[in-house]
Every structure is written in structure tokens, then in C-alpha cells.
């Protein structure tokens, strides 16, 4: 894909593949194009060139809503929760994509609409339990510590039952202990829900511990990719991070 904003190439002929069940990380310095890549996959940005293909289906022109319904969920670098709403209600919003009951049926509150509502609540409660968020269930999100809000965002994404989960800096602002917890949660979530995950993350230890493959972006281009231990030693990567010779 190539994505330009005026003179800036946020992505320049970036090509990458994620296999089902894999966890890959996309790393790179600030402004490298990581969030732009997610925005293209989710349908928020339209690349000028290139395609996004999900299970053999071209989704480049699909709406963000349609892409979410196909099983792609993401979290945002800057938390995008409904701050005045409770944790449970934020999770229930994650279910929204599965709400297939026609509007008129909801209006008359048919049996099917009721059943659907019950299923969604069960799903949200199961995720609350899985992420150990029950204690915060009925608290407004705004009143919670940052670390808990990050977990709630993960919860909202999981409640939508994604096949592909895109995480944009899930550990930003977390203390060491919370980062370790997040790591275990992600490992469990992968196993339990059979997720495919793309992780954008600045914490390299987390990247090294979790990823099967790492893709490195710099100035909108892929400068390295491969197993974490190889990428970590790549001189191009070291230079991009440390600005050696810049």
C-alpha cells in the first residue's frame, strides 16, 4: 500500500502478510506509519495505491463498519472509550456489530431481539471475567486508572469476537507490572479465542516476548522483517531507533 498526505508518504509500498493464528508486531520510530497502516486495514484511511485483502476478499473500499462485521477489531493509541459510560456498557458497544435483529423487531421487542440482547450480555460478562474486570463493571470509565482503561479497551475489542485484532500501543502508559499482566492476558486471549494479532508497540521487551515475526517500518517503508531476535540485531533497525548516522 501507498498512502500519502500531501507531500508526506505515511506508507510507501508497504507489503505485509499475517497468517491465521499468528501474532506479529509492527514497530518503528514515531511517525513511521504504524497507526496509518491500521487505519488503512480498518477502512478509516483509503490508500492511494495497493489493496487490503482479508481471507482472499478485497476490503480496500469497504466501510469501517463492514470491516468490523467481517471480524476485524482494533484498539486505539489514545483511548477511545465512552468515558461517561460504565465498563459493562462500553463492552456491550463492542457487541454492536453482531446485532442482526431488524430495527422493527427491536422496536416491538420481539423474542429474537430479547435473545440477542441476552447473548450479548453473556458475552460481555464472560469477557469481564476473563479480564478480571468484574470489580469495575458498573463504574464509569472516566473514574478508572489509566491501566484499567487500557484493559477495558482490550475488552471492548474482544467482545466483538474478532478474528483479527489490531492493537495500537496497548502498553503505553502502563507500569512494568501492568505490562507483564497485559502480556499474559494477550497470550491467554490468543489461545482461548483463536485470535490473529497485529501488535504495534514501543516496548521492545514485550515485542520480543510475544511476537513470532516483527516488521519494522521507518518513514513509511518496511526496512526489516523476520524473527524478533534477528530483527533486533539488524543494523538498519538499530540505526532507525538510535538515529546513528542521522
| CB contact at 8 A, 212 and 23 | yes
Nearer to Mg ion, 116 or 168 (CB): 168
Tell me how far, at minimum, the Cβ of 54 lies from Mg ion, in Å: 22
The CA distance from 104 to 110, in Å, is 9
The CA distance from 132 to 87, in Å, is 12
Distances, alpha carbon 54 to alpha carbons 67, 143, 170, 220, in Å: 9, 38, 23, 22
Residues 137-196 that bind Mg ion (CB under 5 A): none
Binding mask 60-79 for ligand ATP (x = CB under 6 A): -----------------x--
Residues 21-60 that bind Mg ion (CB under 5 A): 34-35
| CB contact at 8 A, 187 and 154 | no
Tell me how far, at minimum, the Cβ of 24 lies from Mg ion, in Å: 16
Segment interacting with ligand ATP (CB under 6 A) among 5-13, 170-178, 186-194, 204-212:
5-13
Nearer to ligand ATP, 67 or 133 (CB): 67
Selection from ligand ATP, Mg ion, none that 10 binds (CB < 5 to 8 A by kind) is ligand ATP
Residues 19-38 that bind ligand ATP (CB under 6 A): 28, 30-36
Give Dmax (Cα) for the chain: 68
Within 8 A by CB and 6+ apart from 105, the residues are 112, 113
Nearest to residue 1, comparing CAs of 213, 215, 236?
A: 215
**Residues forming the site for ligand ATP (CB under 6 A):** 5, 8, 10, 28, 30-36, 77
Binding site for Mg ion (CB under 5 A): 34-35, 77
Amino acid at each position: 500500500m501507498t498512502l500519502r498526505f500531501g507531500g508526506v508518504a505515511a506508507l510507501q509500498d508497504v507489503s505485509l502478510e499475517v497468517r491465521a493464528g499468528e501474532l506479529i508486531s509492527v514497530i518503528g520510530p514515531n511517525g513511521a506509519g504504524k497507526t496509518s497502516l491500521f487505519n488503512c486495514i480498518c477502512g478509516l484511511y483509503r490508500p492511494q495505491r495497493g489493496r487490503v485483502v482479508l481471507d482472499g476478499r478485497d476490503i480496500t473500499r469497504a466501510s469501517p463498519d463492514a470491516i468490523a462485521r467481517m471480524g476485524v477489531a482494533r484498539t486505539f493509541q489514545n483511548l477511545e472509550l465512552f468515558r461517561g459510560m460504565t465498563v459493562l456498557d462500553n463492552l456491550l458497544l463492542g457487541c454492536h456489530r453482531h446485532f442482526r435483529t431488524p430495527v422493527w423487531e427491536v422496536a416491538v421487542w420481539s423474542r429474537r431481539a430479547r435473545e440477542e440482547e441476552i447473548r450479548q450480555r453473556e458475552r460481555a460478562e464472560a469477557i469481564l471475567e476473563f479480564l478480571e474486570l468484574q470489580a469495575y463493571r458498573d463504574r464509569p470509565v472516566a473514574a478508572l486508572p489509566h491501566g484499567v482503561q487500557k484493559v477495558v479497551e482490550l475488552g471492548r475489542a474482544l467482545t466483538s469476537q474478532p478474528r483479527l485484532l489490531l492493537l495500537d500501543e496497548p502498553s503505553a502508559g502502563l507500569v512494568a507490572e501492568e505490562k507483564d499482566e497485559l502480556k499474559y492476558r494477550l497470550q491467554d486471549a490468543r489461545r482461548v479465542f483463536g485470535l490473529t494479532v497485529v501488535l504495534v508497540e514501543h516496548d521492545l521487551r514485550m515485542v520480543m516476548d510475544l511476537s513470532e515475526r516483527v516488521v519494522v517500518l521507518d518513514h513509511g517503508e518496511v526496512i526489516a522483517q523476520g524473527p524478533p531476535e534477528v530483527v533486533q540485531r539488524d543494523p538498519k533497525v538499530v540505526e532507525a531507533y538510535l538515529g546513528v548516522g542521522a
